[in-house]
Amino acid sequence: MKAFLGMGLLGSNFVKAMLQKGETVQVWNRTLSKAKALEEYGAKAFGNIYEAVQGADIIHVTLKDDATVDEVLASASKGLQHGAMIIDHTTTSVKGAIQRTGYWKSKGFTYLHAPVFMGPQNALESTGFMLVSGDQSLIEKQEPALSKMTGKLINFGAEEGKAAGIKLSGNLFLLSLTAGLADSLALAKVHGIQPSELLTLFNNWNPGAMVPARLKKISEAKFNEPSWELNMARKDAGLMMDAAKEAATDLAIIPAIATAMDKWIAKGHGNDDWSVIAKDSL
């Protein structure tokens, strides 16, 4: 039997998917009504967290942050049966994931951090990506059950906390992507271009398909084989900023990128591939 703590959009849909697969799930949420809403799907809701975890072999967690996870698990601890396993899908710090792994082991329980790249619909449909790292024998035992929760379970090896770090790195890219799209839309607006027209470009050109190859090129440090010279990329960044300035429009990230470009041009890398600005990150 399983327990699930945290009935936000992600957690509640994870539970619905489990119930559809015939599993027995006890649920808890700080706002009881959110847990109660799952009873119509077959879950059993509890107002007291320690009652929600009683009898559960596995306790899944989807909460806000490190502090919330620590607080909730501490409250649940007196209801945990010895040897129970805690699987935490919360996006947390690397330090927090490592500390919780050791702490709960010392208390006779197992803690596994398994963050996800999944939205609510993914959780309901058991699609998307789940990340794990740490004790490989433990992960091997849990892999069948965790794989049923997601489209793909990605194992990053024995290092505790690595899954947490990779999750944060991925989220950073998503934040940067959205900021980049915001800049693209702002510049398009300056030139009287509609969002739908920009979407037409991206549907055909699909720059997202370039990401793996670009990351590979950066990681291999092949900056002396330019496909777009830094000097030329900087020229284009200048055109973007000039157009935005004339229209009194703010750009979120291009000015920072231009500053990084200027630094590398000053170092003599103007004829290298523009991705040389990532060199210090390697």
Output the pLDDT for position 54: 97
pLDDT band at residue 94 under the 50/70/90 scheme = very high
CA distance 28 to 6: 6
> pTM of the predicted model, to two decimals?
0.94
Q: Name the domain boundary from 134, 158, 182.
A: 158
| Domain membership of residue 7 as a residue range | 2-158
CATH number for position 275: 1.10.1040.10
Query: In this structure, are 114 and 218 located in the same domain?
Result: no
Query: In this structure, are 273 and 187 located in the same domain?
Result: yes
Q: Name the domain boundary from 133, 158, 183.
A: 158
The beta strand positions in 99-170, using DSSP E, are 110-113, 116-117, 129-132, 152-155
Query: In this structure, are 145 and 221 located in the same domain?
Result: no
Domain count, the chain: 2
Query: In this structure, are 135 and 206 located in the same domain?
Result: no
CATH number for position 22: 3.40.50.720
Query: In this structure, are 191 and 215 located in the same domain?
Result: yes
Query: In this structure, are 232 and 132 located in the same domain?
Result: no
**Alpha-carbon distance values, 174 to 1, 179, 208, 211, 280 (Å):** 35, 9, 12, 12, 21
Of the candidates 208, 230, 232, 238, the residue with the CA atom closest to the CA atom of residue 275: 230
Output the pLDDT for position 18: 97
pLDDT band at residue 13 under the 50/70/90 scheme = very high
- The pLDDT tens digits of the residues spanning 103-137 come to 999 999 999 999 999 999 999 999 999 999 999 99
- The pLDDT tens digits of the residues spanning 146-183 come to 999 999 999 999 999 999 999 999 999 999 999 999 99
Q: Name the domain boundary from 158, 187, 213.
A: 158
